[in-house]
């Protein structure tokens, strides 16, 4: 095993081992001291530049992990960086939390799954690590155990289960018993599948839950405010990117033209970009605004994906644009979450001014201000859209105006400071380092150097400047209008919950009516048929179990849908 191979193994095993060690009383203190630094092997592996490949026959059906292509390397850089920065931030943030051991257990497990799915090179390993990340994150969302956090955790878990169910159906249809299919063969397998359109739809929706796709985004605005600040940074910076990685790994980009799926992605992408802005500017919590900003930003990624699906010749260019955009978003969004936490609790004077200045830098970057990595990311998208007509470019510029509106909203809410002044040291160092790394992204972007020269072109500077200036002007002109608007976090979630409550009441009423009829029939039979006492007891226990299981209606519906999909695909 080479040094690079050892780093790849340690990147997954170390956080998982530390998470387990925290649960052992004799090892707990040492494990808690090591927990903030468990993403270091992944960070070193990302920056090392060497390839690696490790195969273990004893795990699953044969597990393969490693760094084999630029997609793996870029996602490993962003995942390791965000987890390392959020963990270093949490080292101070969680130091006096009585539940800190529980936090680090779930954070370590989630980080191991997140890093593992990036390094996974076969379908079985990818799905395993993806599931570990998914269910480990529940403990981060529901960490504080308030009513709000428990609701957010329940919403997150339901949406996560929906995504897992859709992906499981896609993988079963796609690979069947060949679960060890290498990931580099998966796009071709999708393209050649007799159920290609169904599989593509399941993959788009399944990974779309994590990526915050329109309608499937409802968990983000309730999960981010409920989770601790460092967990929010990891959720929005690294876990959202995992959904995009799933799209890049499995969809047949560059292999076959899928104009129908491409049009759907384009429409859904721009719908998310503008819907996230429309709802986000009405929010009162800066973390909720940042969650809607993630929905909006991932809308641009979804639109770029739609271009690649519709036109295979644009796939290499689209992949490069998506990689850079996701990397830029992960670093900028994590810096915004961590900076917001500091700005809202920093004492007045220079600490508060420094926090707000750092937030301003990250906000301008995400909005795509001239000479920033955000501007370069948007240039790459506009270059991708060169042959899509003027409408595509105008939509991107309008989206930049929307991004600016959201950033102005975040800054205004953070400046108003709603949190109590921190009485303990603030985690300045990890935030400032992450901020510096985001700014330094311009030094080595994962795109052509020719594109970097466009950043200082006068036309590009003007193209990046006017949407930001327009967004600032609109934000100040409409600030009184926003004060009167109030859309609940989760927006469509409120509708879903009300419809669900109505359906649940109807189903419960029907079940109770059936139970009463069944009990009446049994009582009538008991009066006419002699039944031994032991059998009567068994019948009562069976009836009690049946009534208990009837409460799991969502699970039953989910399994029914999964069964219908698999039955239809196996015709």
Q: What pLDDT score does 347 carry?
A: 81
CA distance 263 to 561: 26
Burial label, 564 (beta-carbon count in 10 A; 0-12, 13-18, 19+): exposed
pLDDT in tens, the chain (571 residues): 688 888 888 999 999 999 999 989 899 999 999 999 999 999 988 887 677 778 777 676 678 888 888 899 999 999 999 999 999 999 998 888 889 999 999 999 999 999 999 999 999 899 999 999 999 999 999 998 888 999 999 999 999 999 999 999 999 898 876 777 889 999 999 999 999 999 999 999 999 999 999 999 999 999 988 999 999 999 888 999 999 999 999 999 999 999 999 999 999 999 999 999 999 998 989 999 999 999 999 999 999 999 999 999 889 888 988 998 999 999 999 999 999 988 888 888 888 889 899 999 999 999 988 888 888 888 878 777 666 656 777 888 888 899 999 999 999 988 886 556 666 678 888 898 888 887 777 666 555 555 566 677 787 788 888 889 999 998 888 777 666 677 888 777 777 777 777 777 777 777 778 777 767 776 766 666 555 555 556 556 656 655 555 544 555 555 555 555 555 554 5
Cα 519 vs. chain centroid, distance in angstroms? 47
Residue 67, SS3 per DSSP: strand
How far is Cα 469 from Cα 485, in angstroms, rounded to an integer? 24
- The CA distance from 116 to 66, in Å, is 9
Q: List 55's β-bridge partners, or say none.
A: 64
Burial of 534 (C-beta count, 10 Å sphere; 0-12/13-18/19+): exposed
Enter the pTM of the model.
0.86
The C-alpha atoms of residue 302 and residue 215 are separated, in whole angstroms, by 13
Q: How many Cβ atoms sit within 10 Å of the Cβ of residue 443?
A: 8
Q: Are 342 and 230 spatial neighbours (Cβ–Cβ below 8 Å)?
A: no
CA-based nearest residue to 359, from 329, 376, 378, 334: 334
DSSP string, 293-325: HHHHHHHHHHHHHHHHHH-GGGHHHHHHHHHHH
Dig out the tokens for 11 from the structure.
């990147």
Instruction: Determine the Cα angle at 163 with ends 162 and 168, to 5°.
Output: 100
Are 254 and 308 within 8 A, CB to CB? yes
Q: DSSP class of residue 178?
A: -
Is there a contact between 456 and 371 (Cβ–Cβ < 8 Å)?
yes
């Amino acid at each position: 095993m080479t040094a690079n191979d050892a780093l790849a193994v340690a990147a997954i095993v170390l956080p998982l081992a530390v998470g387990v060690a925290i649960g052992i009383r004799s090892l707990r203190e040492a494990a808690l001291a090591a927990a903030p630094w468990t993403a270091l092997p992944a960070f070193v592996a990302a920056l090392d530049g060497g390839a690696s490949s490790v195969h273990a026959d004893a795990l699953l059906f044969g597990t393969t992990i490693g760094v084999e292509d630029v997609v793996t390397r870029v996602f490993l850089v962003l995942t390791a960086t965000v987890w390392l920065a959020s963990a270093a931030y949490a080292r101070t943030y969680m130091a006096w939390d009585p539940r800190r051991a529980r936090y680090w257990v779930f954070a370590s497990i989630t980080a191991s799954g997140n890093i593992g799915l990036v390094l996974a090179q076969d379908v079985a390993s990818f799905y395993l690590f993806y599931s570990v990340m998914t269910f480990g994150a529940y403990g981060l969302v529901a960490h504080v155990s308030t009513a709000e956090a428990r609701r957010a955790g329940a919403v997150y878990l339901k949406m996560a289960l929906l995504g897992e169910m859709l992906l499981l159906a896609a993988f079963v249809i796609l690979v069947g018993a060949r679960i060890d299919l290498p990931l580099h063969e998966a796009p071709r397998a999708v393209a050649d599948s007799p159920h290609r359109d169904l599989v593509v739809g399941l993959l788009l929706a399944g990974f779309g839950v994590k990526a915050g796709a329109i309608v499937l985004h409802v968990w983000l605005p309730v999960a981010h405010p409920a989770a601790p600040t460092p967990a929010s940074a990891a959720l929005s910076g690294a876990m959202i990117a995992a959904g995009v990685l799933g799209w890049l790994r499995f969809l047949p980009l560059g292999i076959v033209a899928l104009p129908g799926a491409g049009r759907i992605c384009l429409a859904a992408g721009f719908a998310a970009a503008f819907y996230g802005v429309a709802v986000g500017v009405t929010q009162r919590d800066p973390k909720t605004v940042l969650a809607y900003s993630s929905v909006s930003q991932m809308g641009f990624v979804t639109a770029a994906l739609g271009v690649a699906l519709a036109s295979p010749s644009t796939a290499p260019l689209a992949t490069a644009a998506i990689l850079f955009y996701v990397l830029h978003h992960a670093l900028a969004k994590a810096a915004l979450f961590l900076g917001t936490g500091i700005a809202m609790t920093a004492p007045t004077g220079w600490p508060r001014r420094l926090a707000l200045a750092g937030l301003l830098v990250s906000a301008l970057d995400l909005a795509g201000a001239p000479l920033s990595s955000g501007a370069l990311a948007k240039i790459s998208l506009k270059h991708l859209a060169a042959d899509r007509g003027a409408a595509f470019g105008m939509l991107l510029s309008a989206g930049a105006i929307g991004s600016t509106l959201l950033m102005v909203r975040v800054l205004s809410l953070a400046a108003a400071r709603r949190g109590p002044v921190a009485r303990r040291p603030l985690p300045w160092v990890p935030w400032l380092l992450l901020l510096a790394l985001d700014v330094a992204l311009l030094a080595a972007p994962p795109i052509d150097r020719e594109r970097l020269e466009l950043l200082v072109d006068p036309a590009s500077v003007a193209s990046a400047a006017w949407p930001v200036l327009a967004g600032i002007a609109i934000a100040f002109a409409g600030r009184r209008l926003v004060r009167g608007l109030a859309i609940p976090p989760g927006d469509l979630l409120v509708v879903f919950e009300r419809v669900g409550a109505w359906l649940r009441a109807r189903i419960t009423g029907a079940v109770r009516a059936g139970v009463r009829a069944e009990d009446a029939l049994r009582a009538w039979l008991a009066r006419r048929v002699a039944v031994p006492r032991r059998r009567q007891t068994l019948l009562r226990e069976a009836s009690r179990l049946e009534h208990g299981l009837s409460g799991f209606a969502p699970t039953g519906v989910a399994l029914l849908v999964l069964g219908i999909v698999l039955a239809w695909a196996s015709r």
